[in-house]
């Protein structure tokens, strides 16, 4: 094969790959998808207005932008909670598109919100996407480049113009999620989605706050984050009820108690270990017993 043939072949493959990616991206915000999502929203809202139980909210999951099935669970729960301010805050947002827990709200369901991430390049990429997207260009979501800590989280969010009640809070910062939510007071989310670490087992365990939780001197890689039981206990103290999770049991959904009617029954943290993957990843007590976890 000559050099011209090789070049033309490479260009053809690249064009085909880009065409597939464009089609995939367009499908995530097509008119047909928007119509379907709005019908689904109205379905859950109507059931809630008649006092019908939502059932197993975890089973309502599907993925459009989210990494797993968080998009579907979020829609089912928010629609069931009734009218809110249509606002979200996403801490640890990346570019706000790839594996995003809030992109579906912003692009397909008309929510406004705040994306926060410590990676400046990802923040700039997200700003560009939303400023150019026809669904958000008129009033794009706010992006902030910041590494959020318990000491700074309230100032970062308030400085961006978000206070009081919001619909949805997502926290995914790979280790200090527990401590950031515990410190957060400037907003009052109706629904919270937060990452936990089922590999820490059934007991209540939290790794202490660390500037770089993935690299704590002398500690193994699994000395990180909070177990589901620990997160659920803290959430209860804050007035939130565990109502759903992704199928692997590490991304947990909490509804504010004043909104969680009997149609949204709480689930015990032990239920999060039903999936074989969750069970298989639980570390033995011998790997956890002598580590300096906090047991709130």
In this prediction, residue 47 carries a pLDDT of 93
Structural domain of 150: 31-288
Average pLDDT over residues 123-130: 97
In a domain, 249, yes or no: yes
Which range, of 36-40, 145-149, 169-173, 272-276, averages the lowest pLDDT? 272-276
Q: Given a cut of 50, is residue 7 above it in pLDDT?
A: no
**Residue 102 CB neighbour total at 10 angstroms:** 27
When computed from its CA atoms, the radius of gyration of the chain, rounded to whole angstroms, is 20
The conformation of residue 288, written as its DSSP 8-state character, comes to: H
Sign of CA dihedral 238, 168, 125, 7: positive
Domain presence at residue 214: yes
Q: Residue 158's pLDDT is what?
A: 98
pLDDT of the residue at 161: 98
CATH value at residue 48: 3.40.50.150
Domain annotation covers residue 6: no
Predicted pLDDT of residue 2:
61
The mean per-residue pLDDT over the stretch 259-280 comes to: 88
Provide the 10 A C-beta neighbour count for residue 163.
Answer: 13
pLDDT at 21 over 50: no
Average pLDDT over residues 218-229: 92
Q: Can you give the pLDDT at residue 242? A: 97
Question: What is the average pLDDT score of the chain?
Answer: 91
Q: Convert the pLDDT of each residue in 148-207 to its tens digit.
A: 999 999 999 999 999 999 999 999 998 999 999 999 999 999 999 999 999 999 999 999
Give the pLDDT mean for 116-145: 97
pLDDT of 14 higher than 70 = no
In a domain, 204, yes or no: yes
Helices 70-80/31-49 angle, 10° precision: 40
Q: Is residue 63 part of a domain?
A: yes
Number of domains in the chain: 1
Residue 19 lies in a domain: no
Q: Is residue 97 part of a domain?
A: yes
Q: Residue 10: is its pLDDT beyond 70?
A: no
Strand partners of residue 169: 89, 192
Q: Which residue has the higher pLDDT, 99 or 278?
A: 99
Task: State what percent of residues in the chain have pLDDT above 70.
Answer: 92
The per-residue pLDDT for 213 is: 86
β-pair partners for 170: 90, 193
Nearest to 172 by CA among 272, 271, 262, 250: 250
Tell me the two tokens of residue 37: 């999502």
Half-sphere exposure at residue 127, Cβ-oriented, CA atoms within 13 angstroms: 12
Confidence of residue 96 (pLDDT cuts 50, 70, 90): very high
The predicted model gives 23-29 an average pLDDT of 75
Contact 74, 41 (CB under 8 A): no
Residue 17 included in any domain: no
Of 166 and 3, the structure prediction assigns the larger pLDDT to 166
> How sure is the predictor about 107, in pLDDT bands with cuts at 50, 70 and 90?
very high
Residue 23 has pLDDT above 50, yes or no: no
């Amino acid at each position: 094969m000559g050099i011209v043939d090789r070049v033309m072949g490479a260009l053809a493959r690249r064009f085909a790959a880009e065409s597939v990616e464009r089609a995939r991206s367009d499908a995530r915000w097509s008119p047909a998808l928007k119509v379907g999502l709005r019908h689904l929203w109205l379905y859950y809202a109507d059931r809630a207005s008649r006092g019908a139980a939502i059932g197993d909210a975890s089973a309502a999951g599907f993925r459009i932008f989210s990494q797993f099935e968080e998009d579907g669970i979020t829609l089912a729960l928010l629609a069931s909670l009734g009218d809110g301010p249509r606002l979200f805050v996403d801490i640890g947002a990346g570019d706000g598109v790839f594996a995003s827990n809030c992109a579906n709200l912003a692009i397909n369901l008309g929510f406004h919100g705040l994306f926060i991430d410590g990676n400046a390049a990802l923040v700039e990429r997200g700003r560009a996407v939303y400023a150019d997207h026809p669904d958000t260009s008129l009033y794009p979501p706010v992006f902030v480049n910041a590494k959020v800590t318990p000491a700074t989280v309230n100032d970062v969010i308030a400085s961006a113009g978000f206070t009081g009640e919001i619909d949805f809070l997502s926290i995914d910062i790979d280790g200090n999620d527990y401590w950031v939510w515990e410190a957060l007071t400037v907003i009052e989310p109706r629904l919270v989605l937060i990452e936990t670490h089922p590999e820490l087992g059934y007991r209540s365990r939290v790794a202490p706050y660390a500037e770089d939780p993935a690299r704590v001197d002398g500690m193994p890689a699994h000395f990180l984050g909070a177990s589901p039981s620990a997160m659920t206990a803290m959430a209860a103290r804050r007035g939130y009820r565990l109502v759903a999770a992704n199928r692997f049991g590490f991304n947990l959904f909490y509804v504010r108690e004043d909104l969680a009617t009997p149609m949204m029954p709480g689930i015990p943290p032990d239920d999060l270990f039903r999936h074989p993957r969750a069970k298989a990843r639980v570390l033995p007590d011998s790997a956890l017993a002598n580590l300096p976890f906090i047991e709130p």
